[in-house]
Amino acid sequence: MTALPRPISCFARGLITVFALGWTLLLAAADRDYGLAPVRIAEDTWVLVGRSEDFSFANGGNIVNTAFIVTRAGVVVIDSGPSRVYGEQLKRAIARITDKPVTLVLNTHHHPDHFLGNQAFAPDTLAALPATIKGIHSEGGSLNENMYRLAGDWMAGTEPVAPARPLAAGPLEMGGHRFELIALAGHTVADLVILDRSTGVLFAGDLVFNDRTPTTPHANLPRWQAALDQLEKTPFTTLVPGHGPVAGDAGPIRQTRAWLAWLDRQLRQAANDGLDMTEVLALPLPAEFRSLAVVDAEYRRSVGQLYPAYEQAALSGDRHKP
């Protein structure tokens, strides 16, 4: 009819759409229930064990182990999960067990399933190793976007929040618990391990996987294996891996190291034999690793992530330059 009302109505329509979409997403997320069920594994200590799967729309990213320790001075949370909704449900799960406030949230490293629940907690409770904080600042956005692609509307409202408080390795006394913060690397550029000397529980983060194939998007295999050597020498009674069931011995440490050592040998050998990446992908996996969850997918991802460097090492040398 006239030119004037059209843009306004378009704008209004746009607004309504945006609101509707926003609400739909929020409501969809509100509907989502991770069914978090804390399991008591030691005095004051609970673990929430994720599924040994890939990220998916079905699991909403809950493939990770998170944990909390109820001290007299407040609750220490280890990793906040893959989404805002997870963080909020974790907080409610904690509140069902204790009325103590969460006073410290530790992110073991900068992978999305370990820090994207940070939004649910007070900013001044968040802490991580300096390189982890840096990693969340620089890669948090793209890691978060990728999680939306992989887990869909479970992610609604999730934004990356980097801890402000940098941690240093060493003892940390809190409410009667004597923690030891151990700064390692190899799974990522900084991997925080927490030993609770009061209970003997070792929270290994993603340096240790149990019956679930390790992931390697930021891995340095030699450093990772060295970190595992150190962990194996650390005395503990209970081991909480980043992924897979809680263990009572160092089995998962050895299993993770065996996979990494094999992967390193396999890729080096393949590169020195002149194999194309498609040929490396077609190589059979040893029987001993067939029982690891998602082994085919993780092998495929690891070849894609790591093989170019082995290839380059095999191809390089001054004699080949013009």
- Give the residues lining the site for another protein (CB under 8 A): 146, 149-150, 273-274, 276-279, 281-282, 297, 300-301, 304-305, 308, 311-312, 314-317, 319-322
Q: Which is nearer to another protein, 181 or 314 (CB)?
A: 314
What H or E segment, with its residue span, contains residue 8?
helix 5-31
DSSP states along 137-179:
HHHHHHHHHHHHHHHGGGGTT------SEE--SEEEEETTEEE
Whichever of 209 and 310 has its CB closer to another protein, that residue is 310
- Cβ proximity to another protein: between 56 and 103 the closer is 56
Q: Which is nearer to another protein, 236 or 307 (CB)?
A: 307
Find all residues with CB under 8 Å of 131, minimum gap 6, and list them: 110, 185, 189, 190
In whole angstroms, the minimum distance from the beta carbon of 151 to another protein comes to 12
CA 51 to chain centre: 13
Backbone torsion region of residue 39, taken as left when φ is above 0, otherwise alpha when ψ lies between -120 and 50, otherwise beta = beta
Q: Are 70 and 142 in contact (CB under 8 A)?
A: no
Bridge partners (DSSP) of residue 193 are 182
**CB 160, min distance to another protein, A:** 19
Q: What is the DSSP string of 109-130?
A: SS-HHHHTTGGGS-GGGEEE-H
Q: Minimum distance from CB of 64 to another protein (Å)?
A: 18
Euclidean distance between CA atoms 260 and 255, whole angstroms: 9
Burial of 261 (0-12, 13-18, 19+ CB in 10 A): middle
Residue 197 DSSP one-character state: T
Shortest CB 301 distance to another protein, Å: 5
Give kind and range of the element (H or E) at residue 44: none
Within 10 angstroms of residue 208's Cβ, the number of other Cβ atoms is 31
Q: Which residues contact 84 (CB under 8 A, 6 or more apart)?
A: 29, 116, 117, 119, 120, 155, 156, 157, 158, 159
Pick 55 or 236: Cβ nearer another protein: 55
Closest contact distance (angstroms) between CB of 55 and another protein is: 11
By C-beta, is 178 or 300 nearer to another protein? 300
Give the residue with the Cβ less far from another protein, 14 or 274: 274
Q: Residue 41: what are its φ and ψ, rounded to 5°?
A: -110, -15
Q: Which residue has the tokens 């390795």?
A: 169
Decide whether 99 or 318 has the Cβ nearer to another protein. 318
Rounded least distance, CB 3 to another protein, Å: 18
Minimum CB distance to another protein smaller for 119 or for 158: 158
CB of 223 to another protein, least distance (A): 22
Q: How far is the CB of 207 from another protein (least distance, A)?
A: 22
CB of 274 to another protein, least distance (A): 4
